[in-house]
Structure 1
């Protein structure tokens, strides 16, 4: 793990922490909105989350200082939510914004990424023993951000009042006490029981922890504030914490990249879809925000198929997304019978696309001799592309902005993978990427052109490339500005918070 820096920039920022009464109360989205709101006011804002658990990640502009594989410049990775928050601040992503990232590989173990680089795979109990040793790195990263900002907005993780985790805590009250942070407690009105959740947190915290809370925000509120006023009185009367505002339900949230797989539980409908994209929902799915630009296109329905259901016969395209446990998810795909559905789909003229781990699954074989993603061994792939992959210890982290000579369109995105792929299938690449005059092949396409895959995440985010690719499927793309749509949504979220919260009062509570 990296040593603590011998010198730190002097702290000049105000700091404010947002903790939740539970997971999925909207902490990440609220912090993103506050980042944009205070940035629009002229402040230099930075997001921070000490520990995030997510298989949705983004590449940063900085890393641990060591060169990456293939001689690439140092890069790191952080949770997708912190990348969105950095964007809301109009700031580049940094490993200091999320110094500890947990990427689950099974129900019992996760890869631990420390300041952007894999530290190793740890069981849940081993990680609990490791956590206290990570606190100096967490605090140093927080101080780094505080030295370059006017305001640092710190996001907690899950519930801040889980007593069984308190002794090793580095991301909720453990961090708040170590760094001297004021805390805003966020509750979720949409699921009911917000008063009980706030009072329960108060009951579980010790006096010094309660003293850190400067107020309560109620999120996802729909209704009449006057009717809810007695609940605010009850919470303040029982805890002494003032109610800082009721944040209304923000329907635009669906236009932002999702943070974790809870977003996949939202119901979808095919409606009048001209193109149906079926996506098997595998247990360790990763970077599924790759599909957000497709789902936003008018006339396209992205259907996440849960376990126990066949891939729909009506699908025009089956897409295999990324995974943090490629061989295990491939085994699950076969157990569900989805491999047979894919072959039936192809026999009836359908198309299949694989991204990153999904690309690896399309090949003939996947080897993991060191047990990087699970038990050592190898697995038979789907055999739809003439390629083989070996998973090794070096992770490739590369940002991409290049011209694809095949489509004539600009391609943006990033690579984030530990596999190396070889085989004759690469002689038929999906893309020919011109990067400052250097042309390289990327991905593979089957001889009949109906199966293709590549390592690039975010591939469909560039409007021109997405529209060109959709045209090849016989579908016209209409979404004119995907990136502009995200920016407009962040601005709309900031305006909602300006209306629902006294942001001057909230800023005054930061210290």
Structure 2
């Protein structure tokens, strides 16, 4: 099990890299995160929903995403409450105190998935959540040491040296664990190091002497590494010299599946900017409204931030707008939540640029899809993605769909003037042909094609290569044992 001294210490990245490293050595390896809290999710092969990071780790292991890889997913709907998803299906909405009481039920689901995985794979790599040293969360813990103790699992602690204070993070975390939990920690990994490793050595020697545990490796800072984010927004590359198109997107409070915009963010000819609260809305050729976990609340936030007037002005001057999932729903005339599924029950006016209304219903739509764009002049560009939404949209706008799906359905809508496009499909920009077609529709014809899937695969291999070079594979093999340990001990023919 990989646990971190803080959130974003590198747990997800280390597990993904180890999955790829072991899979390349012939090990049947699976990722596992008992409990995840994230608004970026993916649809699984068995028709459920898991955290985006576990879908990436499955890809690294050469597997299709499965609900057993993340049996408990919490999707925050407010600062104190979340939708609870068990084995891929939403079962309830609970505030923090009620969820604490619910944890024994959640733990039963966790152990059920764990037992299936250990029976079916040579090695299961577990990712913790946040930090194991959160004293207030130790009672009934299912995400970190509570799980490790329940299944008798060894633990590696990872810390991010780029944040500063790495020795305090590691020693302090270890000190705050109980004696039995401390005994589980077999070693440390230091992440995101840049500089002269020789200047770090005295600190590593002190750490090993102080704790009696080895440093299993110091991982370098991998500049430009692209991996699907669990929650944090990826940095956009500003001021691109070859930029042909300016794209902006709002960062509303409950933004979800913002990885949909990674292809835009990484395209060398797209100047992409996230616009956060209180920031000026810059001129753009394309505005993208991403998904949302609380559509009405986020639409109210948009209006308060001045986005409605900015979009109206943008369209008046010929700009284009794309809404995905919750962003698509906002573009309609009416939003209705009669059961209070995303907050207080009630209705509100949408932005009104697509002639449709959306009603939230209890059953969530979860499906992987393929299809083609219906844009004039670029029809036929392939799209592969997934749907995760509770809203059902109806109205005249749907008679002009944005996509034709391979299962015979149509998806989304295109405004009569051709300036506004909406879709329920996450991954709308991911296929290189679809990305090029949408950028041409937005005003940048002839851009180079960017293959997000190929980039992801290349960076997973780059990460695995870095781990192989930076980790003490012998000591790591001792931690893993079994077929995984044997595979790490075998020399690799670099010429092959």
Q: TM-score, normalised by structure 1?
A: 0.91
Superposed, which structure 2 residues align to 1:123-142 within 5 Å?
123-142=95-114
Contact map agreement 1:297 1:477 (CA 8 A) in 2:
no
In the other structure, the counterpart of 1:212 is 184
Q: How far has the Cα of 1:390 moved from its partner?
A: 0.2
In the other structure, the counterpart of 1:321 is 290
In the other structure, the counterpart of 1:166 is 138
CA distance in 2, matches of 1:259, 1:310: 27
Q: Secondary structure at the match of 1:216?
A: strand
Contact map agreement 1:252 1:489 (CA 8 A) in 2:
no
Question: Is 2:17 the counterpart of 1:33?
Answer: yes
| 1:153 corresponds to which of 110, 121, 125 | 125
In the other structure, the counterpart of 1:410 is 382
CA distance in 2, matches of 1:399, 1:250: 32
Q: How far has the Cα of 1:403 moved from its partner?
A: 4.0
| 2:426 corresponds to which of 431, 438, 457 | 457
Q: How far has the Cα of 1:471 moved from its partner?
A: 1.9
Note the alpha carbon deviations across 1:214-262, whole angstroms, 9 max, x for none. Answer: 0011111112222111211222222211111101111242x222221x2
Q: How far has the Cα of 1:111 moved from its partner?
A: 0.5
In the other structure, the counterpart of 2:257 is 287
Note the alpha carbon deviations across 1:46-77, whole angstroms, 9 max, x for none. Answer: 00000111100000011xxxxxxxxxxxx100
Q: Secondary structure at the match of 2:199?
A: helix
Q: How far has the Cα of 1:376 moved from its partner?
A: 0.4
Note the alpha carbon deviations across 1:322-349, whole angstroms, 9 max, x for none. Answer: 0000000001001111111111111111
In the other structure, the counterpart of 2:40 is 56
Q: Secondary structure at the match of 1:258?
A: coil
| 2:326 corresponds to which of 344, 347, 357 | 357
Q: Please list every run of 5 or more consecutive structure 2 residues that lacks an aligned counterpart in the other structure.
A: 482-496
In the other structure, the counterpart of 1:380 is 349
In the other structure, the counterpart of 2:487 is none
Contact map agreement 1:405 1:434 (CA 8 A) in 2:
no
In the other structure, the counterpart of 1:5 is none
| 2:30 corresponds to which of 22, 30, 46 | 46
Superposed, which structure 2 residues align to 1:9-408 within 5 Å?
17-62=1-46, 75-253=47-225, 255-260=226-231, 262-264=232-234, 266=235, 268-272=237-241, 273-313=243-283, 315-404=284-373, 407-408=379-380
Q: Secondary structure at the match of 2:303?
A: helix
Q: Secondary structure at the match of 1:263?
A: coil
Q: How far has the Cα of 1:480 moved from its partner?
A: 4.3
Q: Please list every run of 5 or more consecutive structure 1 residues that lacks an aligned counterpart in the other structure.
A: 1-16, 63-74
Q: Secondary structure at the match of 1:177?
A: helix
Contact map agreement 1:389 1:422 (CA 8 A) in 2:
yes
Q: How far has the Cα of 1:502 moved from its partner?
A: 2.2
CA RMSD of aligned residues (A): 1.3
| 1:497 corresponds to which of 452, 463, 467 | 467
Q: Secondary structure at the match of 1:211?
A: helix
CA distance in 2, matches of 1:120, 1:445: 34
The aligned length equals 476
Contact map agreement 1:409 1:465 (CA 8 A) in 2:
yes
CA distance in 2, matches of 1:342, 1:402: 28
Q: How far has the Cα of 1:178 moved from its partner?
A: 0.3
Q: Secondary structure at the match of 1:419?
A: strand
In the other structure, the counterpart of 1:469 is 438
